[in-house]
Amino acid sequence: MNAALALLARDVRLAWRQAGDWLTPLGFFLLVVMLFPLAITPEPGKLALMAPGVIWVAALLAMLLSLDGMFRQDLEDGSLEQLLVAPAPLPLLVLAKVAAHWLQTGFCLVLLCPVAAVMLFLDGKTLSVLMATLLLGTPVLSLVGAVAAALTVALRRGGVLVPLITLPLIVPVIVFATGAVQAASIGLPVAGYLALLAAFLVLALTLIPFAVAAALRIAVGG
C-alpha cells in the first residue's frame, strides 16, 4: 500500500509539472460544450433536454485524449519495467496509476460540470444527479481505458487504437448515466440507475487491475 500511495503521489506531482497534459482535455471539454449551442440551437429548453448527453459525450472524448499517456511515458523512461519487477502487487500499482489519471481528468471534469451546466441551462436538481453519474462513471472509463492503454503501450501508434477498444466497452455506462439524468429531469426516481453505475464501478475495480497487469506484462515482453 505504501508503494501504491508513493506511485500515486509521484504521478500527481509529474502531472502538476506538466500542466498541459491534463489542461488540454479540460479545455477540449469546455470547447465542445460552448460550441454545441452555436451548432444546434440556442433555445434553453432544447439545450437543457440535450445537456446530459452532450456533457457526457464531451467528458468521454476529453478523457480519451489522455488515456494513451497513462503508461507510455513510464515505458519511455524505463520506470514501467521497474513497476513490473517491484515487490508490491502489480494490480495495486496499476490501481494507483488509474487513480492518478482519474484525478487529473475525471475529477477535474466533475468540478467543471457546473460551468457546463450553466452553458446548457441545466437546472440545479438535475445537475446534482449529473455530477453523481460522473463521479461513478468516469472512474470506470479510466479503468476500461487502462486496459486499452496497456495493450497498446508498446505500439508506435497505439494511441489510435485506444478509443476503438474503449468506446464499445463504455457504452453501458453512458446509457445508464444519461438515463439517470433524464429521469431526474422529469421527476422519476434515479436510485436504480445510480446503483447500476456503482455496480459497474465495483466490478471494474475488482477485475480490471488484474487484466491491466497481465496486459502490461504481455506488452513489454515479460
> For residue 137, what pLDDT band results from cuts at 50, 70 and 90?
very high
Cα 15 to Cα 26, 29, 101, 105, 138: the distances in Å are: 14, 18, 9, 10, 18
Give me the mean pLDDT over the 116-122 stretch. 87
Q: What is the pLDDT of residue 208?
A: 93
pLDDT tops 90 at residue 41: no
What pLDDT score was predicted for residue 222? 52
Q: pTM to 2 decimals?
A: 0.88
Which residue in the block uniquely carries the three cell numbers 508498446? 154
Average pLDDT over residues 132-146: 93
Tell me, what's the pLDDT at 196?
94
46 to 12, 35, 117: CA distances (angstroms): 39, 15, 13
Residue 221 confidence (pLDDT) above 70: no
Rounded to whole angstroms, the Cα distance separating 129 from 178 reads 10
Q: Model confidence over 160-182: pLDDT tens digits?
A: 788 888 888 899 999 999 899 88
Contact 116, 58 (CB under 8 A): yes
| pLDDT for the residue 149 | 87
Q: pLDDT tens digits, residue range 58-104?
A: 999 898 888 877 887 777 777 777 788 778 888 898 999 999 889 98
Band (pLDDT 50/70/90 cuts) for residue 51 is confident
Percent of the chain with pLDDT over 90: 30
In 55-212, beta strands by DSSP E: none
Asked if 146 contacts 70 with a C-beta cutoff of 8 angstroms, the reply is yes
Q: What average pLDDT is seen over the chain?
A: 86
Give Cβ neighbours of residue 174 (< 8 Å, ≥ 6 apart).
56, 57, 60, 137
